[in-house]
Structure 1
Amino acid sequence: MTEEFTDRTVLVTGANGGLGTEFVRQALERGARRVYAAARSPRAWDDERVVPIALDVTDPSSIAAAVATASDADLLVNNAGIAPEVDVSLVSVADDTLEHVFATNTFGVIRVSAAFAPVLAANGGGAVLNVLSLAAWIPLPTVYAASKAAALAATNGLRTELAGQGTAVTGLIVGMVDTAMGARFDVPKSTPEHVVTQAYDGVLAGAWEVLADDDSRFVKGLLSAPAEDLAAATRAAMGAVVD
């Protein structure tokens, strides 16, 4: 495993979070030459191969500055995302929540991927890994779910568009992960280590999609069934959470 990313340069957005930190750690473990740990407020790391950089994925000028700094990147991990606690309704959502969630979870993925596309092309094509969510497939009345569904569509479109320059695009589908973002939900969760291991294995294999937990694999199997079946399964799962 320690040689899998030899001579590769990785950029991870949202690097300060639980999943982002694990993406940084495992990239180093797999032999990455350099890892750009991007966050709105970058922190210090205890490895000289890690380069902290400031990046707000909702700010085009910040994205441009990151591109100028990380011009040697050949793997982009779009991990940055938000799920505000107030996001519980599509009907009554406040405009600022609606706009901020989409700006981060959807437009951020598109803008960062588009900005780094020429960098990846110049560095042999490379790869993009987009951290998505099982919420993209299930009928949840949240802006988060809607934004992740849009990000999934964007991921599929980017894969088609960037194939000509030799850039592979992988979408990571996962349910609850044991991080600060999911702390308020009392449900079984995957560990960041388990999720990132599968994600990076998928990148190395050139997979279009990585299903990182049993819930994601179960729902994937329902997507060809009537929409009512998926809705019923979602209601049952939500009922179990409430109980």
Structure 2
Amino acid sequence: MPLRAPKTATLRDWLFFLLTLAGLVWLVVRGAERLGYAWHWRQIPRYFGTLSEAGFSVGPLLQGVIVTLEITAYSLVLAAIIGLTTALLRLSGSVVGGWLARIYLEAIRNTPLLVQIFFLYFVMAPIFDIGRTATAVLALSLFEGAYASEIFRAGITSIHRGQWEACYSLGLSRMQSYRTVILPQALRRVLPPLTSQAVSLIKDSALVSTIAVADLTMEGRTIIAETFLSFEIWFVVAALYLVLTLTLSALASSLERRFSRSAPS
């Protein structure tokens, strides 16, 4: 039975957190005072949405959150497919497949994401007639898929060799072994690092604003250009990204606990 932390330790942790938060708030306020900045927080709610007789109208910040979530969702699925496929190619024993996977990994991991976005948007998108949103999803998927492939490969190779031998003794093919035995076990092990990669994806999605995709960062920049509410808008944008990443981490933790309960003892 796990030991519970003493209440005094919990209170001490909360006190330390509140003091740290208060210190950060004081630094921000003090810095704004030195700059002579006048806060206008009362103007922020209307950028989330407006309520009228016709109903609720979504504001630019919420619209940016929706676009960010859409881009992230599509990129997560595509990155997982790319990452798993690349990992399987590296483990397949195929010389051609292994070299293709290696070239992809080295090209993606050794060049900045911003450069990749520009290359896809200004070079590849006009050739294949791809829109800016699709280009953003493709760039994020390729970038995150390279790192996800290493996570998948590490999870697969961590499975004991005896599991493979048991599969072969039952007459299962290699693909059947992957699908029914190896991958389900590997998924439980790689879920925490995959969650961290998904959090990175949400933060990296801010770079798609450089190609005029109307995500949260782009909407924030547009509002600042119109109103000059730099501090207020950037703080709100940062808070919204924090909410998104914390929510994703909580969902992943819940899924991990569910896997742990269902795992055979």
- Asked whether the two chains share a fold, i.e. TM above 0.5, the reply is no
Higher-Rg member (1/2): 2
TM-score in terms of structure 2 length: 0.24
Higher relative contact order (CA 8 A, sep 6+): 2
More strand by share: 1
TM-score in terms of structure 1 length: 0.26
More helix by share: 2
